[in-house]
Amino acid sequence: MQQSSIYLEPDPLGILNHDGIRWAVLLLHGFTAGPDSVLPWGQALSKAGATVRIPLLTGHGTNVADLARTKAGRWRTDVQQELDTLLAGPYDAVAVGGLSMGGALALDAAAHRPVNATFVVNPALSFKVSDRLGVFLSPLVHRLVPTVGPLAGDVNKPGVSESAYDRTPVPAVQQLAQLFRTTRSNLSRIDSPVTLYVSRTDHIVPRSSARFLERHLDPDLFDKLVLENSYHVATLDHDAEMIHHDSVAKLSAMSGGHREP
């Protein structure tokens, strides 16, 4: 699975340019996957007039061994460096969005950087109850069981697949747990709007992640849309266009409230 970072130029005739506001959006993919999983979302934002950057996170898009060697801090640094580049660029406003693990990283970034908006699709902040024992024991068993089955491809739409590793390295799952803890502990620092897109049926991330997020964010800054016809990878599923439309509409509505240069 070879993937690379993606950069999308803005359509100068897009709706986001009508008020002369230059938007940049950083989109983040999920665990074991790559930029392709959020590319249609990025293309919709680009068509609307935003500059879009979709980085390939360290350990992804190459091989499972690379992911097994990657620490959670490296993913956070990847994102913060990408965001710092956009914040220093020729833009009037910057947003961040992500799917699953990318959602957790987007929330972590919003807690540490002055973004104008955050959009998260089925963000991963906890493990399913059935997986928690395995995660707890992973530091003890990873030498005997270095990989487990895939944690990707949960799509309801027929004929659609997510490009991702076909195995999941156990050491990386330990790092994912660390990322969850770090992100949860910093949610109270987020002081800009957050939109949650959550699937009614998700076979990967438990509903407890969405409930935790809703409880720990300022209700005046929080909005939630329930996706009725999609599974975990909603960015490639039936409700993808709803995500596209809503995120573009929110950025357009915010165009008068961009950050000061």
- Report how far residue 35's alpha carbon sits from residue 235's, in angstroms, rounded to the nearest whole number: 11
Mean pLDDT of the chain: 90
Count of C-beta atoms within a 10 Å radius of residue 196 = 22
CATH of the domain at 105: 3.40.50.1820
Asked if residue 184 is part of any domain, the answer here is: yes
- pLDDT tops 60 at residue 139: no
Q: Is residue 38 part of a domain?
A: yes
Is the predicted pLDDT of residue 242 greater than 50, yes or no? yes
Higher model confidence: residue 152 or residue 38? Answer: 38
| 60 in catalytic set | no
Asked if the structure places residue 1 within a domain, the reply is no
Neighbours of 141 (CB within 10 A): 11
Task: Give me the catalytic one of 29, 60, 232, 244.
Answer: 232
Residue 134 inside a domain? The answer is yes
Burial of 12 (0-12, 13-18, 19+ CB in 10 A): exposed
pLDDT digits (tens, 9 = 90+) for 179-227: 999 999 999 999 999 999 999 999 999 999 999 999 999 999 999 999 9
**238 flagged as catalytic:** no
Per the domain annotation, does 168 fall within a domain? Answer: yes
Q: Which residue has the higher pLDDT, 139 or 80?
A: 80
Tens of pLDDT, residues 81-113:
999 999 999 999 999 999 999 999 999 999 999
d(CA 124, CA 183): 10
**Total domain count, the chain:** 1
Closest by CA position to 35, among listed 52, 50, 11: 52
Q: Are 242 and 40 in contact (CB under 8 A)?
A: no
Nearest CA to 122 among 201, 41, 221, 58?
201
Query: Which amino acid, one-letter code, is at 24?
Result: A
Catalytic residue among 100, 163, 209, 252: 100
The residue ranking higher by pLDDT, 10 or 141, is 10
The verdict on residue 15 lying in a domain is yes
Per the DSSP assignment, residues forming a β-bridge with 93 are 23
Q: Which residues form the domain of 132? A: 6-257
Residue 23 domain flag: yes
Is 202 catalytic? The answer is: yes
Q: What are phi and psi of 22, to 5 degrees?
A: -95, 110
More confident: 185 or 257: 185
